[in-house]
Chain A
Amino acid sequence: MQRLAEIQVPDDELRAARAGDAAARSALFQRVAPATLGIIRRLVAQRAMAEDLLQDTLIAMFEHLDDFRGEAPFGVWVRSIAVSRCLMAFRSPWHRARVALESWTEESWTGPAEAESRTSDLIDLDRALAKLPPVTRTVVWLYDVEGWSHDEIAKAFDRTVSFSKSQLARGHARLRCDLLPPVQSGLGIPLRSEFDGH
């Protein structure tokens, strides 16, 4: 699957979409929607919530097409909208209550359906990633995979750079702890639920 940040849109298609052409908008949807849902699903575990956020993101994208200045690939712009919508959802009291409830009930892992086709180490990693608290998972994914800097993450979360570094270190420690056998995981096991669900 093409990464969202690498998606480019031809100028004529963009111009037609800006003018409100339904076919061009539909083509734009087809071009960015799967990758956008992919990144949202990485940050938000629940499928229904991810689809709501995808809807918010794409509606915001269509409403603000005129604001896209073309300085970066189109996908990077869409990605920033998607991440910002996810962070807004994390701040909502409803989401926090839901996460608190889920941590009580210890819901089973609901990872992407394509997991079976991958190697077992990736399935384990996917599972471990899904077990991280949403904020920690987001910081880990944005820093390690999407290539954001600590400054960018801190700005997106409206927090300090220390917050980003600390969340990343905690996320790595918990992933290592989950992925390695107990003997190898060694020191540095974090406090289990210090930042859970926030």
Chain B
Amino acid sequence: MDTEETRDDELVGRLKRLDAAAAPAELNFGYEGLIDRHATRRRRARRQHALARGTASLLVVAMVGVGVWRFDQEQGAQTVEVIRPEITSDSRATQPRIVRADTYFAVAALEDHIASIDDALNDARLGRGTDEVARLESTRALLVDSYTRVRYAEMVNANY
């Protein structure tokens, strides 16, 4: 333990030296440039906002138009044949089974849980028996497995 603490101290010392040795970061813009960049970003945001509003308005107009057209069609029709889709076991199988949800809180909760298990493991290794360590390690393995699945799903979702 002492050795690890010593190595940590040495590492912290090196990190501080790295900070002290750092040369000033080169800026690609000055105060005027900052104001220009900010103005450009605001202009772009306003343009995107206007574009989004225009698209939304167009969509609303299109939906209303389609609704009116269908209403006219129904008025003109003498008979209306209602076709009900037949629900079979095959069609049920094609229903989506994945519910999309934000995984941020799940990931955060899993990470916190793993972190607390890590803490408990550290304590258990120092003071308690091997049974407790084994129990905690098995819980941690389960959590890490769940965590890996969630992150894999996130990665697949982000990239495809």
Question: Measuring CB to CB, which residues of chain A are less than 8 angstroms from any residue of chain B?
Answer: 1, 3, 22, 25-26, 29-30, 33-35, 37-38, 41-42, 51, 55, 58-59, 91, 93, 96-97, 100-101, 112-114, 117-119, 121-122, 125-126, 129, 140-141, 144-145, 159-160, 162-163, 165-167, 169, 172, 175-176, 179, 188, 191, 194-195, 198
Which of B53-61, B115-123, B127-135 forms contacts with chain A? B115-123
Question: Measuring CB to CB, which residues of chain B are less than 8 angstroms from any residue of chain A?
Answer: 4, 7-8, 11-12, 14-19, 21-32, 34, 37-38, 41, 104, 107-108, 111-112, 114-116, 118-119, 144, 147, 151, 154-155, 158-159
**CB nearest to A38 among chain B residues:** B25
Chain B facing A: main interface SS: helix
CB distance A198 to B144 under 8 Å?
no
CB distance B15 to A59 under 8 Å?
no
CB distance A33 to B14 under 8 Å?
no
What CA separation (Å) do A126 and B14 show in the bound complex?
10
CB distance A122 to B17 under 8 Å?
yes
CB distance A166 to B24 under 8 Å?
no
CB distance A163 to B112 under 8 Å?
yes
- By a CB distance below 8 angstroms, the chain A residues around B41 are 55
Contact check: which of B8, B23, B30, B151 meets A1 at CB < 8 Å? B23
- Measured between C-beta atoms, what is the minimum distance from A180 to chain B in Å? 9
